[in-house]
Amino acid sequence: MTHTTLLDDVRELIATRERDGVSGLAGRIGPAEWSELVPRLDSKELAVLIQWLPDAELPDLLAELDPTAAAAILRTLSRPVAADLLEAMDPDDATDVVEELPETEAEQILIQMEPAEAAEIRELLAFPPDSAGGLMTPAFVAVAPDLRADHAIAALRRVAEDAETVYYAYVIDAEEHLLGVLSLRNLVLARPETPVEALMVRDPIRIRAAADQETAAHLLTDHHLLAVPVVDDRDHLLGIITQDDVADILEAEATEDIERLGGSQPLEVPYLSASIPLLVRRRVVWLLLLFVAEAYTGTVLRAFDEIAKVLALSYFIPLLIGTGGNIGSQTTTTLVRAMGLGEVRLRDVGRVLGKEVVVGLILGAIMAVVAFARAELLGTGAQVAQVVALTIAAICVWSATVAAVLPLLLRRLRIDPAVVSAPLITTLVDGTGLVIYFTIAKRLLGL
């Protein structure tokens, strides 16, 4: 069943007051499907749906939703009900939602919660939202180094009753310093009386709580880990970050890069939740900057006003600058992605530049042949066709060069290289491409 069909069914059930139908539907679809439907409902439909959904479904639904949307739902509920829902969620998911609430409302809900569970959320709130500490969950298994393997397995089973998945047990000393990590597999295969100290992996990969959450996400994925421990500056174990925790971070990072590559600032909220003023604010600054930068192309045209004597040259201006922008966009997109994956760094600028110049030369040669044929078909004459062919080859090399160097340069200046968007590359190439075009034309045509 498609999301559109599900949405129509839910709306019909709400409109006809079929509460049992909603309950039956909840038995067939899960939180992930509900999270796709909920943002598309209007406020009245959403209020009814929240009342009718089984209580056991709501915590998972809130965890699947964007925290902003989940917080909006909590604000429609009574404080005790909202507190019960947060208690049923994993602490890290609940913290994400609480961060989106006004401070006074968040405090009123936390007061209604069980003290121990409210304390966990307060501890996580103390870390910046975009840090590893803000991403971690305090739900982990910690054991002493002299504990027997069978007792460690029992501890894992107890935690597994409240957690969806338990991957590792962490070995700590009396002062809660991280000593090592135990895999469930090693525990199960070991003799029951074996001390965990003999089974643990010493000095495991870890991350500081103050580290950026994107660093944590890449650490987890680059080393193919199921979870990574989070420690403070004194190496005290504070929590863990799992693959589920980083999935949303990597998605958000990719979304921000795509939005920046399109010449827009990240929305930071779901698109359907974004207001028109917010969309305008996120786009207008870039548009104004690009407009000002693009204005210099008029200056270039005016400086070469004698070129107007050869009308045929104007036929190819859109083709030439468009090709340059396309080459630059392709190069930038590929390079920014490689930088994001850690495949390319500033020290690689020489290799990157050399590779892209060669690629630009080959593409330029291919495009030059096509452009020459096109100019001849239009009957512009061999000289104009030659100008167009040489220009498009030069623009391909020039555009590839600019797009190869600029992202690395911006990274050096501590500017997000994703801002080297397709519109910006196009703007840079437009004016310089015209200079190249008209300079070649003056030389070959004797203007």
User: For residue range 110-134, what is the model confidence (pLDDT) as tens digits?
Assistant: 999 999 889 989 989 989 888 888 8
| β-pair partners for 231 | 208, 237
Confidence category of residue 164, pLDDT binned at 50, 70, 90 = very low
Phi, psi of 167 (to 5 degrees): -95, -45
Higher-pLDDT residue of 28, 241: 241
In which residue ranges of the chain is CATH 3.10.580.10 found? 141-242
Q: Is the pLDDT confidence value at 220 over 90?
A: no
Q: Is the pLDDT confidence value at 265 over 60?
A: no
Of residues 363, 359, 353, 362, the one with CA closest to residue 405: 353
Using DSSP's 3-state secondary structure scheme, residue 264 falls into coil
Least confident range of 45-49, 201-205, 278-282, 434-438: 278-282
In which residue ranges of the chain is CATH 1.10.357.20 found? 295-445
What is the pTM for the complete model shown? 0.58
In which residue ranges of the chain is CATH 1.25.60.10 found? 3-127
Q: Is the pLDDT confidence value at 137 over 90?
A: no
Q: Is the pLDDT confidence value at 343 over 60?
A: yes
Using DSSP's 3-state secondary structure scheme, residue 137 falls into strand
Q: Which long-range contacts (CB under 8 A, 24 or more apart) does 203-208 make?
A: 204/178, 204/180, 204/229, 206/178, 206/230, 206/231, 206/235, 207/132, 207/231, 207/241, 208/132, 208/232, 208/233
Least confident range of 1-15, 129-143, 145-159, 430-444: 1-15
Q: Which CATH superfamily is domain 3-127 in?
A: MgtE N-terminal domain-like (1.25.60.10)
Q: Is the CATH number of domain 141-242 3.10.580.10?
A: yes
Angle of the 276-294 helix axis to the 296-303 helix axis, nearest 10? 20
List of residues 6+ apart from 174 with CB closer than 8 A: 144
Tokens of 238: 């504070």
Task: Please answer whether residues 187 and 141 qualify as being in contact, where contact means their C-beta atoms are separated by less than 8 angstroms.
Answer: no
Q: Is the pLDDT confidence value at 5 over 80?
A: no
Of residues 313, 319, 440, 441, the one with CA closest to residue 380: 313
Pick 295-445's CATH classification: 3.40.190.290, 1.10.238.10, 1.10.357.20, 1.10.10.10: 1.10.357.20
Using DSSP's 3-state secondary structure scheme, residue 357 falls into helix
Amino acid identity for residue 241 in this structure: I
Tokens of 90: 């994993």
Of residues 263, 275, 212, 281, the one with CA closest to residue 424: 263
Distance CA 285, CA 270 (A): 20
pLDDT of residue 304: 60
Amino acid identity for residue 21 in this structure: G
Torsion angle in degrees (nearest 10) through CA of 433, 435, 436, 437? 80
DSSP code, position 101:
S
pLDDT tens digits, residue range 15-44? 887 777 777 777 777 777 777 777 777 778
